[in-house]
Amino acid sequence: MRKNGLSRRRFIAGTAAGFATAMVLPRSVWGANEKLNVASIGCQGKGDSDSNDIGRSENMVALCDTNQNCLDKKGGQFPNAKKYKDFRKMFDEMGKEIDAVTVSTPDHTHFPASMCAILQGKHVFCQKPLTHNIWEARMLAKAVKEKKLSSQMGIQGHANEAARLVCEWIWAGLLGDVTEVHYWTNRPVWPQGLDRPKEVQPVPANLDWDLWLNVAPQRPYNGAYCPFKWRGWWDYGCGAIGDIACHVMDAGFWALDLRYPKYVSAESSGCNDETFPKWSIITLEYEARGNLKPVKIVWHDGGKMPPMPKEMEGKEPNRECGAIFYGTQAVLTHDFYCGSCRIIPEARHKELQPTKVPKTLPRSAPGGTMGEFIKGCKNGGDAKGANFQYAAALTEMAHLGNLALRAGPGKKVEYDPKTMKVKNLPELNKYIKREPRKEYAELYKGDDVLPMPTPDGLGGTKA
């Protein structure tokens, strides 16, 4: 950071201090045909598609990526956008010109990039999982609420028709009381169960490795970390459940008002301090919630499939991703983004006639999650759907699964959401909030116990 000739630590300290003393409010009045000035942080993978999605209708003024090749390629698509490797420098130079930001980076940089934007009063669209740990998720939810910003997490399925059908069918009582749900994924499709590589490799000429590391601990470059393989490393990613749970568990989380489990436990191929296991089975046990009965949620990854119910009638499940809801009256299945949402067996689907269930939820805005985000920005209020209140709560559930992996087999994690502490295994509490590199320490100052997110409307429950 010093080699760029600018103290980014001073920028963060000044921005954080400004948040504590004076609110930097977003613009609230928009003409019918006016466009947002947007900046995209992350230009590869989902960063490529997210910038495309928002750039179709809005005005791209800045691009940021630590990979010069990706930055140059995306710059060719948006030639009028200024290019940066460091999002702190981008905000320092262009803060007054930016209305909204997309964050599509590795998991460990979701929080610092989003928080820097929020502190300057920018609306934020951030990819899933919302953050790398529980404290970060709660902090983002608190910050956007206080600054009255529009926010959205990139889980496309939340805006789909099928997610609403799952909620409406369950709320209408078609399944009876849901007592157990199984989810599965073929992830990880990247290496896990590894030790730290000993070889020090030369940093690719197109990559700023120090900026890529961001808040994570300093370590020598190795191709085992990036690109793409970062998901399997504790320092950078959130493993299979972090990658996919916010997608496939979304409708169940919404429909069953899951929030905070009483206990979480896990079995796996074995954890170490560097990478996630090759496979895991994570169980979340929920007590009764209002008129909803206790329910057990079981997550399977690494090719570990749950037993298939007899109602499948011999049909092969989608092995990439899927869900089975066991109710006292019927069984429901769906796959990625709630696709192929059906009550099984087929005779039961026809008997219950789910197509006649009233559509009680408003349907999504055109353009899905990104369309809802843009609408929220211009309407002067938070976007509905997967806003940061909802996203933080959903992400926290995934992080609790990872705490259970850290605990090891045979141990049940008992978590208190009010204190943000594991009650029975205090050694896990060091994973609730990370210790960042000193250049980013100002972003992590503040209370260690933060308010529970408050999902409501389309972002949360039936009410």
Residue 294, in any domain of the structure: yes
Q: Does 65 share its domain with 118?
A: yes
Q: Does 176 share its domain with 302?
A: yes
Among the candidates 356, 377, 412, a domain finishes at 356
The CATH number of whichever domain residue 140 belongs to comes to 3.40.50.720
- pLDDT of residue 156 exceeding 70, the answer is yes
Q: Does 371 share its domain with 246?
A: no
Q: Does 71 share its domain with 172?
A: no
Please state the domain count of the chain.
2
Parent domain of 346: 159-192+239-356
Residue 75, in any domain of the structure: yes
pLDDT in tens, 303-314: 999 999 999 998
Residue 186, in any domain of the structure: yes
- pLDDT of residue 365 exceeding 90, the answer is no
For 126, phi then psi, to 5°, come to -125, 140
The CATH number of whichever domain residue 306 belongs to comes to 3.30.360
Dist. CA 315–CA 308, nearest whole Å: 9
Give burial (CB, 10 Å; 0-12/13-18/19+) of 310.
exposed
Q: Does 98 share its domain with 244?
A: no
Residue 77, in any domain of the structure: yes
Q: Does 188 share its domain with 318?
A: yes
- pLDDT of residue 461 exceeding 80, the answer is no
Residue 422, in any domain of the structure: no
Residue 363's pLDDT is 87
Structure confidence at residue 455 as a pLDDT band (50, 70, 90): confident
- pLDDT of residue 19 exceeding 50, the answer is no
Q: Does 152 share its domain with 249?
A: no
Residue 364's pLDDT is 83
- pLDDT of residue 50 exceeding 80, the answer is yes
Q: Does 176 share its domain with 70?
A: no
Residue 460, in any domain of the structure: no
- pLDDT of residue 244 exceeding 50, the answer is yes
Q: Give the mean model confidence (pLDDT) for residues 100-111.
A: 98
Residue 377, in any domain of the structure: yes
Q: Does 100 share its domain with 184?
A: no
Q: Does 182 share its domain with 276?
A: yes
Q: Give the mean model confidence (pLDDT) for residues 395-401.
A: 98
Q: Does 142 share its domain with 18?
A: yes
Q: Does 180 share its domain with 328?
A: yes
The whole model's pTM is what? 0.94
For the chain, percent of residues with pLDDT exceeding 90:
85
- pLDDT of residue 142 exceeding 80, the answer is yes
Residue 27's pLDDT is 66
